[in-house]
């Protein structure tokens, strides 16, 4: 408002602005609502969305790509990844158990970057609540289940992203 | 003789129960409507889970309030604290005695109808002051002071505005005022007659009415951002529900009285929309028109609530004393002049 306006101008201006405000709310009433009906409808997650890291399996072999090298466990800032391995008859390291304490994960994604085979990938799984602290520690079976599958013809560069899409379907089907 | 007396008492009791049920029903769905409409205006959805479109949300909330612990704070005046919600609610209920819901659908067409309405509705503020005082809480007390100051500032222009349709109709009776707007066409409603004087009176009435029922631009007595919740800070459970009920019942009353005095009451806007019926059909159609018109005003109230900011206390008082009362006196004088000189066809 400029100075030196008369009282009548201000009174009229007040009523005009009140009417303008009413018009704004009335127009907004017909707009598309921003609220999402959450459990029924879901967000469209971007491909590089960071859910918890999981171990997708290869559809050809039915196994994950983990070498049990332990890079992820070493690089993890929270030190929440535990890997147990065993050495088979052919003298190769095989993964025995893979645990992630999700309750302390900060979704930085360093573990997936450190993974030499890109077998560990950030999924689209974000519903992590549970009733007990123990349930928050995800074991190998759970990580396989949440990870879903790699696409049939894996390309080394973008397996992570593709597996994410697979994950979403797997998670959706699970519900 | 004794039997007749008993029958009359029974009928009156039945009417009272029907009206109470009507208030409860209307208030429940006003609250639901408020939440939905405000949600829509804020680009949200609002309650839509419980029942079709969330219609059962408010009954569920009411049941929840019934189960809540009834907290009476330490240091509160127990007796006053308990009767305050009743003092607030009962007048809001009693107004419905003269509410003309439709042709013949009026509990008691008192010959002082309008006077009764304005007298009864101002009792509620005594309950609010009692509630603020008895809570032993500074926010409550400030809210109560504001309520008292607001009532004094707004009761006068409201009654001055109410006088205009009374002068035009020549009757204080609700039925008489509605009869004066008869004729079938909406042009017979007071709002479209008398050189715009009733229209001005209507604006003053609505502004004062909003202040009377603590509605948004004038809800300084429960201003959340300043006084937490004003006079009802300490109330919980069913007592709080009674305050809530009163607030919405009073808002409905304001709209219904505005419809009755300025918008032809239960008359249809066009003669072919049910003016020529008789008996039960006429009753039903007139009830429909009354409720439809009132619903429009209730919507406007919610619209205002979703839009306008709250005025400051000094702004409210200035507006009340320096603008509303002179304008009220002016329109009263104008209406009197116009009617006395016979410039309007009555």
Q: What is the DSSP string of A113-139?
A: HH-TT--SEE-S------SSSGGGEE-
Give domain limits for chain A.
Answer: 1-31, 53-174
Domains contained in chain B, number: 2
The answer to whether the Cβ–Cβ distance between B40 and A33 falls below 8 Å is yes
How far is the CA of A164 from the CAs of A51, A136, A142, in angstroms?
Answer: 9, 21, 16
Using CA atoms in the order A12, A14, A15, A17, what is the torsion angle rounded to 10 degrees? 120
3-class SS of residue A31: coil
How far is the CA of B130 from the CAs of A151, B5, B78, B89, in angstroms?
Answer: 72, 37, 11, 13
The answer to whether the Cβ–Cβ distance between B41 and A29 falls below 8 Å is yes
Work out whether strand A81-87 and strand A93-101 pair parallel, antiparallel, or are unpaired: antiparallel
pLDDT score for B296: 92
CA distance A18 to chain B (A): 7
Q: Examine residue B194 and state whether it is found in any structural domain, yes or no.
A: yes
- The sign of the CA dihedral B29, B31, B37, B40 is negative
Q: Examine residue B346 and state whether it is found in any structural domain, yes or no.
A: no
Q: Examine residue B319 and state whether it is found in any structural domain, yes or no.
A: yes
The answer on B83 and B62 residing in a single domain is: no
The answer on B300 and B204 residing in a single domain is: yes
The answer on B298 and B233 residing in a single domain is: yes
Chain A hits for B41, Cβ within 8 Å = 25-26, 28-29
Closest Cα partner for B58 from B75, B82, B36, B39? B36
The answer on B36 and B182 residing in a single domain is: no
pLDDT score for A157: 52
pLDDT score for A3: 63
The answer on B230 and B167 residing in a single domain is: yes
pLDDT at A5 over 80: no
B270 class by beta-carbon count within 10 Å (0-12 exposed, 13-18 middle, 19+ buried): exposed
Note whether B315 contacts A: Cβ–Cβ < 8 A: no
The answer on B240 and B173 residing in a single domain is: yes
Q: Does the model's ipTM exceed the 0.95 cut?
A: no
Report residue A4's pLDDT band, with 50, 70 and 90 as the boundaries. Answer: low
Work out whether strand A53-54 and strand A121-122 pair parallel, antiparallel, or are unpaired: antiparallel
Q: Examine residue B261 and state whether it is found in any structural domain, yes or no.
A: yes
Domain boundary among the residues B20, B41, B67 is at: B67
Q: What are the start-end ranges of the H helices in chain A?
A: 7-29, 71-75, 110-114, 140-147, 159-174
Long-range contacts of B61-70, Cβ-Cβ distance < 8 Å, separation of 24 or more: B61/B31, B62/B28, B62/B241, B65/B237, B65/B238, B65/B240, B65/B241, B66/B237, B66/B238, B66/B241, B68/B236, B68/B237, B68/B238, B69/B236, B69/B237, B70/B236, B70/B237, B70/B238, B70/B239
The answer on B188 and B57 residing in a single domain is: no
Q: Examine residue B28 and state whether it is found in any structural domain, yes or no.
A: yes
- pLDDT tens profile B266-293: 887 877 777 677 778 888 888 888 899 8
Residue showing tokens 């209730």: B298
pLDDT at B1 over 70: no
The answer on B59 and B75 residing in a single domain is: no
pLDDT cut 90: percent of chain A above it: 1
Q: How far apart are CA B162 and CA B212, in angstroms?
A: 14
Domain boundary among the residues B39, B67, B95 is at: B67
pLDDT score for A175: 35
Q: How far apart are CA B40 and CA B44, in angstroms?
A: 5
The answer on B44 and B163 residing in a single domain is: no
Using CA atoms in the order B85, B87, B93, B97, what is the torsion angle rounded to 10 degrees? 180
Domain boundary among the residues B42, B67, B92 is at: B67
pLDDT cut 90: percent of chain B above it: 5
* Number of neighbouring beta carbons within 10 Å of residue A121: 26
Rounded mean pLDDT, B307-312: 85
Residue showing tokens 């990844």: A81
Report residue A151's pLDDT band, with 50, 70 and 90 as the boundaries. Answer: low
Rounded mean pLDDT, B296-310: 89
pLDDT at B83 over 70: yes
pLDDT at A152 over 60: no
Note whether B308 contacts A: Cβ–Cβ < 8 A: yes
Q: How far apart are CA B255 and CA B263, in angstroms?
A: 10
Give the domain extent around B15: 1-67
CA distance A37 to chain B (A): 9
The answer to whether the Cβ–Cβ distance between B45 and A29 falls below 8 Å is no
The answer on B88 and B16 residing in a single domain is: no
The answer to whether the Cβ–Cβ distance between B43 and A25 falls below 8 Å is no
The answer on B55 and B2 residing in a single domain is: yes
Rounded mean pLDDT, A132-153: 78
The answer on B203 and B223 residing in a single domain is: yes
The answer to whether the Cβ–Cβ distance between B45 and A35 falls below 8 Å is yes
Q: Examine residue B216 and state whether it is found in any structural domain, yes or no.
A: yes
pLDDT score for B346: 64
The answer to whether the Cβ–Cβ distance between A21 and B303 falls below 8 Å is no
Q: How far apart are CA A42 and CA B136, in angstroms?
A: 48
Q: How far apart are CA B170 and CA B320, in angstroms?
A: 27
CATH code of domain A53-174? 3.30.70.3270
Do B264 and B178 form a contact (C-beta atoms < 8 A)? yes
Q: Examine residue B205 and state whether it is found in any structural domain, yes or no.
A: yes
Q: How many Cβ contacts (< 8 angstroms) between chains A and B?
A: 32
Q: Examine residue B279 and state whether it is found in any structural domain, yes or no.
A: yes
pLDDT score for B333: 92
Rounded mean pLDDT, B178-207: 82
CA distance A22 to chain B (A): 6
In angstroms, the first-to-last Cα distance of chain B is 44
pLDDT score for A99: 87
Instruction: Select from B37, B45, B303 the Cβ nearest to the Cβ of A33.
Output: B45
Indicate the range of A159-163, B1-5, B69-73, B219-223 predicted with least confidence.
A159-163
């Amino acid at each position: 408002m400029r100075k030196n306006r008369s009282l009548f101008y201000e009174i009229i201006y007040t009523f005009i602005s009140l009417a303008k405000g009413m018009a704004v709310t009335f127009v907004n009433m017909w707009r598309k609502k921003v609220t999402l009906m959450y459990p029924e409808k879901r967000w469209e997650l971007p491909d590089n969305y960071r859910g918890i890291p999981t171990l997708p399996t290869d559809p050809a072999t039915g196994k994950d790509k983990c070498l049990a090298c332990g890079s992820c466990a070493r690089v993890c800032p929270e030190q929440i990844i535990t890997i147990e391995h065993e050495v088979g008859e052919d003298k190769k390291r095989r993964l025995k158990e893979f645990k992630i304490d999700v309750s302390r994960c900060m979704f930085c994604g360093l573990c997936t970057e450190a993974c030499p085979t890109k077998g560990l990938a950030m999924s689209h799984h974000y519903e992590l609540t549970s009733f007990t602290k123990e349930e928050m520690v995800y074991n190998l079976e759970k990580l396989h289940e949440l990870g879903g599958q790699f696409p049939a013809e894996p390309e080394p560069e973008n397996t992570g992203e593709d597996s994410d899409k697979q994950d979403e379907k797997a998670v959706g089907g699970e519900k | 003789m004794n039997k007749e007396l008993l029958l009359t008492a029974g009928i009156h009791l039945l009417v009272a129960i029907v009206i109470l049920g009507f208030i409860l029903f209307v208030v429940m769905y006003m609250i639901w409507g408020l939440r939905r409409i405000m949600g829509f205006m804020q680009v949200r959805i609002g309650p839509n889970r419980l029942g079709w479109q969330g219609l059962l949300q408010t009954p569920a909330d009411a049941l929840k309030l019934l189960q809540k612990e009834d907290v009476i704070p330490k240091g509160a005046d127990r007796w006053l604290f308990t009767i305050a919600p009743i003092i607030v609610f009962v007048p809001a209920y009693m107004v419905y005695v003269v509410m003309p819901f439709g042709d013949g659908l009026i509990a008691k067409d008192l010959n002082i109808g309008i006077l009764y309405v304005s007298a009864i509705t101002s009792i509620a503020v005594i309950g609010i002051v009692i509630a603020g005082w008895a809570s032993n809480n500074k926010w409550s007390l400030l809210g109560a002071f504001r309520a008292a100051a607001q009532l004094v500032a707004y009761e006068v222009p409201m009654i001055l505005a109410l006088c205009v349709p009374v002068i035009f109709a020549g009757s204080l009776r609700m039925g008489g005022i509605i009869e004066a707007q008869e004729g079938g066409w909406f042009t017979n409603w007071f709002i479209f007659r008398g050189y715009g004087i009733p229209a001005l009176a209507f604006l003053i009435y609505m502004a004062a009415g909003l202040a009377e029922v603590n509605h948004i631009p004038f809800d300084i007595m429960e201003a959340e951002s300043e006084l937490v919740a004003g006079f009802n800070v300490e109330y919980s459970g069913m007592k709080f529900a009674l305050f809530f009920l009163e607030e919405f019942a009073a808002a409905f009353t304001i709209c219904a009285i505005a419809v009755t005095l300025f918008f032809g009451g239960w008359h249809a806007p066009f003669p072919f929309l049910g003016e020529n019926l008789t008996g039960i059909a006429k009753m039903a159609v007139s009830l429909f028109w009354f409720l439809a018109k009132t619903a429009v005003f209730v919507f406007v109230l919610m619209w205002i609530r979703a839009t306008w900011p709250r005025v400051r206390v000094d702004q409210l008082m200035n507006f009340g004393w320096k603008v509303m009362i002179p304008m009220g006196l002016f329109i009263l004088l104008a209406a009197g002049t116009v009617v006395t000189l016979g410039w309007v066809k009555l």
